[in-house]
Amino acid sequence: MKDIKEIDLKKIKSPGGSLSFFEKGKDIDFDIKRVYYIYEFCQENRRGFHAHKDLKQVMWCPHGAIEIDFTDGKETIKYILNDPTKIIVVNKGYWREFVSLKENSILCVGASDVYSEDDYIRDYNKYLEWVEENYEKDTV
């Protein structure tokens, strides 16, 4: 999927610990207007089951391991976030489902816009219709 990028960040180690960072202009091409994070996962339950019509996101897992499955309605790609030096940059338009693979995992998200339920497609059949209407016009 061309509009999902996995990026390995630098790890700057010092006696006090390690530090990683990502930047607009280098790793992401949008301003982050909202940050949210998911924690206290129920490991049995998958989350997600939606796509975003416009939102761009950067995702990282500072602790634990998270599996995220993205689909564009045709192919599905599985990503594992299990290292704080790894980020995934996701363009609009991908259906996603995710699950925690380890206890106490945390999924952090930097988003290109504030929360708006109007940006969500939460029904998979509606998502497939949306892809059909937008696939040629946009970069899904």
Of the candidate residues 38, 65, 101, 128, the single one contacting ligand T46 (CB under 6 A) = 38
Q: Which stretch in 1-9, 19-27, 31-39, 131-139 sits in contact with ligand T46 by CB under 6 A?
A: 31-39
Q: Which residues contact 104 (CB under 8 A, 6 or more apart)?
A: 39, 63, 64
Q: Which is nearer to ligand T46, 21 or 42 (CB)?
A: 42
DSSP designation for 126: H
Q: How many CB atoms lie within 10 A of CB 112?
A: 19
Amino acid at 42: C
Least distance (Å) between residue 96 CB and ligand T46: 6
24 and 30 in contact (C-beta within 8 Å)?
Answer: yes
CA within 13 Å, CB half, 60:
17
Examine residue 47 and tell whether it contacts ligand T46 (CB under 6 A).
yes
Nearest to 10 by CA among 20, 18, 25: 20
What character string, x for contact with ligand T46 (CB under 6 A) and - otherwise, covers 86-125? ----------x------------x-----x----------
Examine residue 36 and tell whether it contacts ligand T46 (CB under 6 A).
yes
50 is catalytic: yes
Q: Which is nearer to ligand T46, 10 or 122 (CB)?
A: 122
Positions in the binding site for ligand T46 (CB under 6 A): 34, 36, 38, 47-48, 57, 96, 109, 115
